[in-house]
Structure 1
Amino acid sequence: MNPPFDDEGVYIGALATLSELGADLDEDRLGPLVAIRFDGPRDGFLDWFARWAASTFRSLSGRPEWEQNPEWLYFDGVPMTFVGQVSVPPELSGLHDVASFYVFWDRDSGVTETVVQVR
């Protein structure tokens, strides 16, 4: 079954679930991940999705507090684990505002990636 993201209520519910986790709804990436895992009735999708998303968008030290839009990183098509966030004030970064560094890690490969956002 394809994920029912075409249903407005489901789309909004999935978006709200991901927002609580600090992630965003990237249908191109999430659609295939969800499609191969969800095989229940359509009306049970949001409950299943909430459980699946919580176990898929893992975090070692709390959820990201994005300065801008969420930019959860993926490795080989799978969400990486959020390790932590460091915010640097402008007087230390030399930028016009606070810069936040978001660190992600893929446990299996050992790959680490960072997102930088400036408020």
Structure 2
Amino acid sequence: MELGYDTFSTELPDDIFELLLELGSEIGIDPFSSVESENYFCELLKNYTGNKNEIREYFESEIKKDFQVMKEKPQWIQGDDWQFNKGKPMIFVGQLDTITKRDGVSYGTSFFVFWDCKDGTTKTVTQSD
């Protein structure tokens, strides 16, 4: 699907693209926030063998299974930046929020920690307002 000004393109068919945007909004993820995320969803579609009427349930089930959180979902400041390792979403461990002052102005910064329990890989994303 091409979205104006060549800013975004995907290998996914239009109906699947729309479905993933809808599911992502409902579940709280952005399926197109990164190349890794899009590749994950392309791979899910490639592996789907059911009929077209059940694809929504398939994607919803896979998303809920693979996008795991230890306690609470991330509260993104700048937008979803879910981390992946070896093609799979990592477990969201938690978020550390801080406030710093510079020149009399307060800035919020959050650290988002992800973990792959299979190989011990960790990744941290930092976002500020």
Q: Contact 1:104–1:114 at 8 Å: present in 2 too?
A: yes
Q: 1:96 to 1:35 in 2, by over 3 A?
A: farther
Q: Alpha-carbon deviation of 1:14?
A: 1.5
More strand by share: 2
Which TM-score applies when normalising by structure 2?
A: 0.75
The residue number in structure 2 matching 1:30 is: 41
Structure 1 segment 18-57 matched on structure 2, within 5 A: 18-26=24-32, 27-36=38-47, 38-57=48-67
Identical-residue share of aligned pairs (%): 29
Matched residues, number? 112
Q: Which has the higher contact order (CA 8 A, sep 6+)?
A: 1
Larger radius of gyration: 2
Deviations 1:58-107 (A, max 9, x none): 11011111101211000111110001111111239xx9621111000000
Q: CA RMSD in A?
A: 2.2
Segments of 4+ in structure 1 off by > 3 A?
19-22
Deviations 1:16-43 (A, max 9, x none): 322344322132332114422x211112
The residue number in structure 2 matching 1:102 is: 112
Which piece of structure 1 moves more, 17-26 or 106-115?
A: 17-26
Which TM-score applies when normalising by structure 1?
A: 0.81
